[in-house]
């Protein structure tokens, strides 16, 4: 059950993140400034820039899936510098998520989940998803979106949400 409410939406939203970053890169090209300017932009002087928003969005999805399934995840040294490297980071996260199946998440609802920061404390897998993974993931994708929009990139809510599986 945790698979169904996480992995497909992590993948969808990471594709949406690729898409809004592409819009940022096109904007930089049109306005003749370096994409690095956007990558190093931030909404507040003591908040992370776009680079870290991308890395943490990826890590939130990757590490949530890893902690719930224990399926080996790709390591990322956070050494990306260029736009192409950040897109590569997202792509490699999506590939990992795509390699997982619902069966890998069997029993994860009640699994004890911890992180290095929690000093031995833990929550159940179901709590981890709803109290941490989902709100944190959406936080960083939204903040990436806001940094782009704040700087004039033509992104809208539909770019963030992506397509809906409409039926008639």
Helix (H) or strand (E) run with residue 158 in it: helix 157-161
Question: What Rg do the C-alpha atoms of the chain give, in angstroms?
Answer: 17
Stretch near its own copies under the rule CB under 8 A, chosen from 33-41, 74-82, 86-94, 145-153 = 145-153
Q: Is 167 in the site for its own copies (CB under 8 A)?
A: yes
Q: What is the distance between the alpha carbons of residues 114 and 73, in angstroms, rounded to a whole number?
A: 16
Q: Does 110 bind its own copies (CB under 8 A)?
A: no
The residue within the footprint of its own copies, chosen from 26, 29, 33, 47 (CB under 8 A), is: 47
Residue 144 to residue 150: CA distance in whole angstroms: 10
Cα–Cα distances (Å) from 97 to 14, 35, 36, 44, 122, in that order, read 10, 27, 28, 31, 23
**Is the Cβ of residue 80 or residue 159 nearer to its own copies in the bound state?**
159
Chain residues in the site for its own copies (CB under 8 A): 1, 4-5, 8-9, 12-13, 43-44, 47, 112, 118, 120-123, 126-127, 129-132, 134-136, 138-139, 142-143, 145-146, 149-150, 152, 157, 160-162, 164-168
């Amino acid at each position: 059950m945790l698979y169904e409410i996480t992995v497909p939406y992590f993948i969808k939203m990471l594709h949406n993140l690729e898409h809004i970053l592409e819009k940022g890169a096109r904007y930089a090209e049109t306005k003749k400034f370096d994409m690095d300017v956007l990558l190093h932009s931030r909404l507040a002087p003591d908040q992370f820039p776009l680079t870290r928003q991308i890395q943490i969005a990826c890590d939130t999805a990757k590490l949530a899936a890893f902690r719930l399934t224990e399926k080996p995840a790709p390591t990322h040294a956070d050494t990306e510098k260029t736009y192409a490297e950040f897109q590569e980071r997202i792509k490699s996260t999506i590939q990992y998520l795509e390699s997982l199946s619902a069966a890998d998440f069997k029993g994860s609802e009640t699994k004890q989940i911890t992180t290095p920061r929690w000093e031995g404390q833990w929550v159940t897998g179901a709590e981890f998803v709803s109290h941490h993974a989902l709100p944190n993931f959406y936080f960083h994708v939204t903040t990436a979106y806001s940094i782009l929009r704040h700087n004039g990139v033509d992104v809208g809510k539909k770019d963030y949400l992506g397509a809906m599986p409409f039926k008639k």
